[in-house]
């Protein structure tokens, strides 16, 4: 089954320094900002040897460049944000609640 674009695009959100630097623009799917790659001031080194951009607006490593082939639009970034941030965090906190009530008994 084919994955939706907002899932596939996540592969391009790390180890992507040369791709992001050569992109016309890039976007953050955490704070939904769109900006020029030249605005990126921080890169983190990955254990595999690549480098990952840090968002100059919110400080999260959730940036994709236009050279990934995906649309750098608010709409696309918010679809990614919904999938990678909102739903995941809700599931995680529900699990923690469940564990806690087990212990209280």
Interface contacts to Zn ion, rule CB under 5 A: 28, 30-31, 55, 57-58
Nearer to Zn ion, 3 or 74 (CB): 74
Nearer to Zn ion, 58 or 95 (CB): 58
Least distance to Zn ion from the beta carbon of 60, Å? 5
- H helix count then E strand count, the chain: 4, 5
Q: Which helix (H) or strand (E) holds 12?
A: none
Least distance to Zn ion from the beta carbon of 42, Å? 12
Nearer to Zn ion, 42 or 95 (CB): 42
Least distance to Zn ion from the beta carbon of 97, Å? 28
CA 29 to chain centre: 5
Beta-carbon count within 10 A of 28 CB = 27
Q: 25 near 74, Cβ under 8 Å?
A: no
Least distance to Zn ion from the beta carbon of 26, Å? 10
Q: The tokens of 55 are what? A: 């968002």
Nearer to Zn ion, 5 or 61 (CB): 61
């Amino acid at each position: 089954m084919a994955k939706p674009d907002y899932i596939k695009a996540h592969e391009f959100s790390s180890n992507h320094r040369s791709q992001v630097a050569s992109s016309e623009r890039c976007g953050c799917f955490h704070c939904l900002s769109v900006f020029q790659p030249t605005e990126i001031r921080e890169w983190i080194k990955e254990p595999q040897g690549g480098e990952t951009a840090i968002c100059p607006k919110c400080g999260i490593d959730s940036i994709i460049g236009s050279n990934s082939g995906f649309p750098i639009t608010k709409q696309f970034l918010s679809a990614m944000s919904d999938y990678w941030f909102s739903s995941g965090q809700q599931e995680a906190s529900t699990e923690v609640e469940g564990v806690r009530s087990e212990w209280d008994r």
